């Protein structure tokens, strides 16, 4: 059990037998009336998000989430195979569980898998990854401004928007949370 004072992003709550992760929360103390906590929760199984408000100081049931370091090995049909970094056990995660993260997975990439009572809940990628551009339209002379963007396909198959001066073969730093371009990597 946890109080609303213990809320933090990433905390997993157990509500009506389902697991919900806190994406964001805000303590609100109005001029009149009792304080409350406004939260945005994401269902760890379905990915659905809901807004829920709690009175300040209310006790809520939390779920024990065990985050384990793992390494992405390969894709086997519809499953993704990961190896636990501690006991070298292999975990097969389905497409539904991996979700959008699949478009940023590279072999031997370090990840974290969250488990609850032995069942995998979700996959956490590093905040940013370095990927090579496999295809983008060539930039024109004079395309040095930061004004425009164009689509680029990365080595993992992800399509992201990049500045006009990016070329096929460039290595880029990409934000795994929203697929945004963070910069070019030299080397």
Domain of 8: which CATH number?
2.30.30.30
Are 59 and 40 contacting, i.e. CB atoms less than 8 angstroms apart?
A: no
Question: Where among 124, 142, 167 does a domain terminate?
Answer: 124
The pLDDT of residue 12 is above 80: yes
In whole angstroms, what is the distance from residue 46 CA to residue 44 CA? 6
The pLDDT of residue 80 is above 90: yes
Question: Where among 124, 152, 170 does a domain terminate?
Answer: 124
Q: What is the pTM of this model?
A: 0.71
- Average pLDDT for residues 103-118, to the nearest whole number? 89
Least confident of 8-12, 57-61, 178-182: 8-12
Nearest to 173 by CA among 164, 165, 186: 186
To which H or E segment does residue 98 belong?
helix 95-98
12/24 same-domain check:
yes
Kindly give the pairing relationship between strand 181-185 and strand 171-175. Answer: antiparallel
- C-alpha 183: how far from chain center: 19
- 17-35 tens-digit pLDDT: 888 888 899 999 988 889 9
pLDDT band with cut points at 50, 70 and 90 for residue 40: very high
- Average pLDDT for residues 113-141, to the nearest whole number? 85
To which H or E segment does residue 96 belong?
helix 95-98
> Residue 187: its pLDDT value, please?
60
Number of domains in the chain: 3
Nearest to 95 by CA among 84, 117, 106, 79: 79
Q: Is 47 in a helix, a strand, or coil?
A: coil
75/56 same-domain check:
no
| Burial of residue 76 (number of CB atoms within 10 Å: 0-12, 13-18, 19+) | exposed
- Average pLDDT for residues 113-124, to the nearest whole number? 85
DSSP 38: E
pLDDT band with cut points at 50, 70 and 90 for residue 5: confident
Domain of 136: which CATH number?
2.40.50.140
Give the other-Cβ count within 10 Å of 179's Cβ: 15
pLDDT band with cut points at 50, 70 and 90 for residue 143: low
> Residue 84: its pLDDT value, please?
92
- 151-184 tens-digit pLDDT: 999 999 899 999 888 889 999 999 988 889 998 8
- The CA–CA distances, whole Å, from 71 to 32, 52, 77, 105, 130 equal 51, 35, 18, 10, 16
> Residue 70: its pLDDT value, please?
95
118/134 same-domain check:
no
> Residue 137: its pLDDT value, please?
87
In terms of residue numbers, what domain contains 25?
Answer: 2-60
Least confident of 44-53, 93-102, 134-143, 159-168: 134-143
């Amino acid at each position: 059990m946890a109080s609303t004072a213990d809320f933090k992003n990433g905390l997993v709550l157990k509500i009506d037998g389902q697991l919900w992760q806190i994406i964001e929360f805000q303590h609100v103390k109005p001029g009149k009336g009792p304080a409350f906590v406004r939260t945005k929760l994401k269902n760890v199984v379905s990915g659905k998000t809901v807004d829920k408000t709690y009175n300040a100081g209310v006790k809520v049931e939390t779920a024990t989430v065990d985050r384990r370091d793992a390494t992405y090995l390969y894709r086997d049909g519809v499953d993704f195979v990961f190896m636990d970094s501690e006991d070298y056990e292999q975990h097969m995660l389905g497409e539904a569980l991996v979700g959008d993260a699949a478009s940023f997975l590279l072999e031997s990439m370090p990840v974290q898998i969250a488990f609850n009572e032995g069942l995998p809940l979700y996959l956490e990628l590093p905040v940013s990854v370095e990927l090579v551009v496999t295809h983008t339209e060539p930039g024109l002379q004079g395309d040095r401004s930061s004004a425009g963007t164009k689509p680029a396909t990365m080595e993992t198959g992800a399509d992201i928007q990049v500045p006009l001066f990016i070329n096929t073969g460039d290595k880029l730093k990409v934000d795994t949370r929203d697929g945004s371009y963070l910069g070019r990597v030299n080397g």
